[in-house]
Amino acid sequence: MLSRLMSGSSRSLEREYSCTVRLLDDSEYTCTIQRDAKGQYLFDLLCHHLNLLEKDYFGIRFVDPDKQRHWLEFTKSVVKQLRSQPPFTMCFRVKFYPADPAALKEEITRYLVFLQIKRDLYHGRLLCKTSDAALLAAYILQAEIGDYDPGKHPEGYSSKFQFFPKHSEKLERKIAEIHKTELSGQTPATSELNFLRKAQTLETYGVDPHPCKDVSGNAAFLAFTPFGFVVLQGNKRVHFIKWNEVTKLKFEGKTFYLYVSQKEEKKIILTYFAPTPEACKHLWKCGIENQAFYKLEKSSQVRTVSSSNLFFKGSRFRYSGRVAKEVMESSAKIKREPPEIHRAGMVPSRSCPSITHGPRLSSVPRTRRRAVHISIMEGLESLRDSAHSTPVRSSSHGDTFLPHVRSTRADSNERVAVIADEAYSPADSVLPTPVAEHSLELMLLSRQINGATCSIEEEKESEASTPTAAEVEALGGELRALCQGHGRPEEEQVNKFVLSVLRLLLVTMGLLFVLLLLLIILTESDLDIAFFRDIRQTPEFEQFHYQYFCPLRRWFACKIRSVVSLLIDT
105 and 69 in a common domain:
no
Q: Is residue 461 part of a domain?
A: no
Q: Is residue 118 part of a domain?
A: yes
222 and 185 in a common domain:
no
Q: Is residue 75 part of a domain?
A: yes
Residue 327 has what pLDDT?
Answer: 93
Segment 551-560, tens digit of pLDDT:
888 888 898 9
Of how many residues is the chain composed?
570
β pairing state of 88-94 and 69-71? unpaired
Diameter of the chain by CA atoms? 116
225 and 166 in a common domain:
no
Q: How many domains does the chain have?
A: 4
CATH of the domain at 277: 2.30.29.30
Q: Is residue 257 part of a domain?
A: yes
> pTM here?
0.63
Q: Among residues 402, 418, 337, 398, which one has the least CA distance to residue 165?
A: 418
Cβ atoms of 148 and 180 within 8 Å: the answer is yes
φ, ψ dihedrals at 527, nearest 5°: -65, 125
292 and 196 in a common domain:
no
154 and 238 in a common domain:
no
Q: What share of the chain is helix, strand, coil (3-state, %, to 5)?
A: 45, 15, 40
Among 332, 361, 390, the domain-final residue is 332
Cβ atoms of 61 and 93 within 8 Å: the answer is yes
* Angle formed at CA 204 by CA 200 and CA 206, multiple of 5 degrees: 65
Assign 242 to helix, strand or coil.
strand
Peptide bond into 434 cis (omega under 30): yes
Low-confidence ranges of the chain (pLDDT < 70): 1-14, 308-314, 345-493
Task: Please state, in angstroms and rounded to a whole number, the distance separating the CA atoms of residues 499 and 509.
Answer: 15
Residue 192 burial (10 A CB sphere; 0-12, 13-18, 19+): buried
Among 173, 200, 227, the domain-final residue is 200
If you write DSSP's letter for every residue of 101-133 in order, what string do you get? GGG-S-HHHHHHHHHHHHHHHHTT-S-B-HHHH
Residue 225 has what pLDDT?
Answer: 81
CATH of the domain at 37: 3.10.20.90
Torsion of CA 115, 119, 122, 128, to 10 degrees: -80
CATH of the domain at 137: 1.20.80.10
Q: Is residue 473 part of a domain?
A: no
Structural domain boundaries, residue 555:
512-569
Cα-only R_g, the chain: 30
189 and 249 in a common domain:
no
Residue 243 has what pLDDT?
Answer: 87
Cβ atoms of 201 and 185 within 8 Å: the answer is no
Residue 492 has what pLDDT?
Answer: 63
Strands of 430-431's sheet in order across: 430-431, 373-376, 455-456
The alpha carbon dihedral of 529, 531, 532, 536 has a sign of positive
315 and 215 in a common domain:
yes
138 and 45 in a common domain:
no
Segment 371-385, tens digit of pLDDT:
333 233 333 333 333
Q: Is residue 488 part of a domain?
A: no
Q: Is residue 57 part of a domain?
A: yes
229 and 312 in a common domain:
yes
Q: In 264-405, which residue ranges form alpha helices assigned H by DSSP?
A: 277-295, 324-332
Q: 406-431: string of b/e by CB count within 10 Å (b at 16+)?
A: ebeeebeeeebbbbeeebbbbbbbbb
φ, ψ dihedrals at 249, nearest 5°: -120, 130
Q: Residue 272 forms beta bridges with which residues?
A: 256
- C-alpha distances in Å from residue 113, one per residue of 99, 105, 239, 459: 12, 12, 27, 19
Q: Is residue 55 part of a domain?
A: yes
221 and 194 in a common domain:
no
159 and 119 in a common domain:
yes
245 and 155 in a common domain:
no
Number of other residues whose CB lies within 10 A of the CB of residue 40: 16
Q: Residue 89 forms beta bridges with which residues?
A: 20
Task: Please state, in angstroms and rounded to a whole number, the distance separating the CA atoms of residues 345 and 75.
Answer: 36
Cβ atoms of 321 and 74 within 8 Å: the answer is yes
Among 168, 200, 232, the domain-final residue is 200
Cβ atoms of 101 and 196 within 8 Å: the answer is yes
- Please report, as a single letter, which amino acid is at residue 58: F
Task: Please state, in angstroms and rounded to a whole number, the distance separating the CA atoms of residues 21 and 39.
Answer: 13
Assign 400 to helix, strand or coil.
coil
Task: Please state, in angstroms and rounded to a whole number, the distance separating the CA atoms of residues 41 and 227.
Answer: 31
Residue 309 has what pLDDT?
Answer: 60
Residue 18 has what pLDDT?
Answer: 92
Q: Among residues 260, 280, 262, which one has the least CA distance to residue 270?
A: 260
87: Cα within 13 Å, side-chain hemisphere:
10
Residue 532 has what pLDDT?
Answer: 77
